[in-house]
Chain A
Amino acid sequence: MHGSETMKRQPLYGLLAEFHSAEELLEATKHTYGAGYRRLDAFSPFPIEGLADAIGFPRTRLPVLVFLGGLFGCCGGFFLQYWPNVIGYPVNIGGKPYDSWPAFIPITFEMTILCAVLTTTFGMLALNGLPSPYHPTFNVPRFAQASKDRFFLLIMAEDTKFDSEQTRQFLTELNPREVSEVES
């Protein structure tokens, strides 16, 4: 099989290179990014420091979302107590103030945490695109090792620099254990 012009059984999603160690993967990724490839992903059985930067993904929006979620919980929790006690069904108990904000603090605090936690969990899952029932990398049988003790680098076919032969040659020069084709 050669060249993207010829007919293929399945369109090519990308090329996957397998490495033995985290350091090898990190080096290879930096090298690949340095060579101008941008549509990259790297896979490991545990988080590796600096790897997300190396593929060109420095920042996540999650903390901002969580802050907004917490803010929503805080205001919502307070309003939940404020409205019934001040507007909906105020009850005069010995002339005590209706908007007794010190007494509203515990529930407001708990609602802040609850909403922030829900945002963190579901925000992280949503941003990661999970649940994701199918991904082309799982078509490579060796990829199952990514959840045990092997490290993978993927260059996607949609990358502007991608060429079936040249990219394969480039990856081989990085000294991986194996380079596999990933079918879509």
Chain B
Amino acid sequence: MAPTDPENVATVVSPGSEVLGPGHTYGSVTDKISSIVLTRGTGKKYRAGLALAIVLLLVLNYAITILMAVGVGVFGINIPVGWGFAIVNFVWWIGIGHAGTLISAFLLLMRQKWRTSINRFAEAMTLFAVACAGMFPLLHMGRPWLGYWLFPYPDTMGVWPQFRSPLVWDVFAVSTYATTSLLFWYVGLLPDLATLRDRATKKVKQIIYGVLALGWRGSARHWKRYETAGLLLAGLATPLVVSVHTVVSFDFTAAIVPGWHSTIFPPYFVAGAIYSGFAMVIALAIPLREYYGLEDFVTIRHLDNMGKIMLATGLIVAYSYIMETFMAFYSGNPYDRFMIMNRMTGPYAVLYWVLIAVNLVIPQLLWLSRIRRNPLWLWFLSFSVQAGMWLERFMIVVTSLHRDYIPSSWGMYYPTRWDWMVFIGSIGLFFTLFYLFIRFLPMISIFEMRELVHKTAEESAP
């Protein structure tokens, strides 16, 4: 039957809202996002960025090779400071990952519309952050070739991992988190992979996206099960996020050194993780919306909301610092008291006060709506927070270890060039993966944006 009416009859046009620019249709959101993958190609700035990321990735490869060949002594660790950059970086990367899951899962359960345009790349950020984090437990081992002993397999010696140890809990928590993030992300991608399959013009792309899309055709039955699965995954991922960073904090709390053996750590770490995670999402969102022209999708309202969450979690972290200090004195425990005085006035005092400035004081600017709604300011603040959270992990790990109970055991920790190379190199790994992601996959969830167009039009219909 020949078409009897023009193409755009009854096409829904969104009047716009705080979280979506006006004038969009299902077609326009699809075109905008899928064209970045299918037709835009790469420009000079993208290639320069990817090249830099790959250079850092090569630095990582080199450093890991030397580490494996020579041994863990190339790091600055010693007795008493048996844990240095490797653990700091592990906790930092895992913490960064948590915001992505929070945006994908928790904000879905809370039915927050503003999650729609940011959840795809935030979840990708989580996946890559967990990949970076996951290297460090292996890298920090004295005998990494025995790393498989951490997994419960039936072995010839009849020996099992120490299930009562937080380090083994970590293995399960991080493995579960990595698997869940990957599956949640992939399930979310399925309808969009189908969109790319149907819009791709080159045969190779059609086949690759077609295979990955698993034959998705948008059937109502499939959507029903899909939405149910999405809510279930969100409901499972939310407590998972809380549990993973809690288990990571247990790496410290289960030990007895002053400054570690504290019950405040689980909520403190989870809040801190969300703090640094949102900082990373902001650090990524602002250049992306600028470079790819996504201001209609990632609006000022999104930046405002993310800034508010950063402020809220930053205040929880500030409260934790204050309580740690207060309890150290209030407890009357001379070792706890010394630990706090050592942080403030000892050999690492400069780092401590920089930490307070960068993590506590400067982010208070987020109270001002002018700052939260200004992309450039917000971007700089996000770096301040990320640096602050890294310094915080450094403070926690190193200051408690380098001077604990008996002065004759005291020492110092100085990072070596290999510590720095693995750290900076891991940032290279993260960005290489992220650059590849934005090139080959839709960085915003296309079908959810269509839903948003539909809902916005429905709500403002007379």
Which residues of A come within 8 Å of B, CB atoms? Answer: 20-22, 24, 41-48, 51-52, 54-55, 57, 60, 62-63, 66, 70, 80-81, 84-85, 88-89, 100, 103-104, 106-107, 109-111, 113-114, 116-118, 120-121, 123-125, 127-128, 130-135, 137-138, 143-149, 172, 177-179
Assess the A55–B172 pair: CB atoms within 8 A: no
Which residues of B come within 8 Å of A, CB atoms? Answer: 1-5, 9-12, 25-27, 30, 152, 158-160, 163-164, 166, 168-169, 172-173, 175-176, 179-180, 183-184, 186-187, 190-191, 194-195, 197-199, 211, 214-229, 232-233, 236-237, 239-240, 243, 247, 250, 447-448, 450-451, 454
Main secondary structure on chain A at its contact with chain B? helix
Assess the A116–B1 pair: CB atoms within 8 A: no
Closest B residue to A25 by beta carbon equals B220
Q: What are 8 residue pairs bridging A and B, where the CB atoms are less than 8 Å apart in the complex?
A: A47-B223, A85-B163, A110-B247, A117-B183, A117-B237, A147-B198, A178-B1, A178-B3
Residues of the B chain whose Cβ atoms lie less than 8 Å from the Cβ of A111: 172, 176
Given contacts A103-B163, A117-B233, contact A45 B220 (CB under 8 A): no
> Shortest Cβ distance from A111 into chain B, in angstroms?
7
Out of B9, B179, B214, name the residue touching A118 (CB < 8 Å). Answer: B179
Given contacts A148-B27, A148-B30, contact A57 B221 (CB under 8 A): yes
| Cα of A128 to Cα of B195 in the assembled complex, Å | 18
Residues of the B chain whose Cβ atoms lie less than 8 Å from the Cβ of A125: 214
| Cα of A59 to Cα of B5 in the assembled complex, Å | 36
Residues of the B chain whose Cβ atoms lie less than 8 Å from the Cβ of A137: 217
Residues of the A chain whose Cβ atoms lie less than 8 Å from the Cβ of B169: 106-107, 110
Out of A22, A100, A104, A138, name the residue touching B454 (CB < 8 Å). Answer: A22
| Cα of A113 to Cα of B4 in the assembled complex, Å | 52
> Shortest Cβ distance from B166 into chain A, in angstroms?
8
Out of A52, A88, A100, A179, name the residue touching B224 (CB < 8 Å). Answer: A52
Out of B1, B194, B195, name the residue touching A172 (CB < 8 Å). Answer: B1
Closest A residue to B197 by beta carbon equals A147
Assess the B172–A45 pair: CB atoms within 8 A: no
> Shortest Cβ distance from B97 into chain A, in angstroms?
16
Residues of the B chain whose Cβ atoms lie less than 8 Å from the Cβ of A107: 163, 168-169, 172
Closest B residue to A119 by beta carbon equals B232
Closest B residue to A21 by beta carbon equals B10
Most buried by A among B169, B190, B222: B222
Out of B198, B219, B224, B227, name the residue touching A148 (CB < 8 Å). Answer: B198
Most buried by B among A24, A60, A118: A60
Assess the B10–A43 pair: CB atoms within 8 A: no
> Shortest Cβ distance from B173 into chain A, in angstroms?
5
Out of A70, A88, A124, A148, name the residue touching B199 (CB < 8 Å). Answer: A148
| Cα of A44 to Cα of B11 in the assembled complex, Å | 14
Out of B173, B180, B191, B197, name the residue touching A106 (CB < 8 Å). Answer: B173
Assess the B159–A47 pair: CB atoms within 8 A: no
| Cα of A125 to Cα of B448 in the assembled complex, Å | 19
| Cα of A47 to Cα of B11 in the assembled complex, Å | 17
Assess the B243–A51 pair: CB atoms within 8 A: no
Assess the A84–B454 pair: CB atoms within 8 A: no
Given contacts A20-B9, A148-B195, contact A46 B221 (CB under 8 A): no
Closest A residue to B190 by beta carbon equals A130
> Shortest Cβ distance from A45 into chain B, in angstroms?
6
Residues of the A chain whose Cβ atoms lie less than 8 Å from the Cβ of B451: 46-47
Given contacts A134-B215, A146-B218, 12 further A-B contacts (CB under 8 A): A42-B219, A45-B26, A104-B163, A106-B243, A109-B243, A110-B172, A118-B179, A130-B216, A131-B214, A148-B26, A148-B199, A149-B30
Most buried by A among B5, B220, B236, B243: B220
Residues of the B chain whose Cβ atoms lie less than 8 Å from the Cβ of A62: 225, 228-229, 232
| Cα of A103 to Cα of B161 in the assembled complex, Å | 13
Given contacts A62-B228, A88-B160, contact A43 B172 (CB under 8 A): no
Given contacts A20-B11, A57-B224, contact A46 B219 (CB under 8 A): no
> Shortest Cβ distance from A23 into chain B, in angstroms?
8
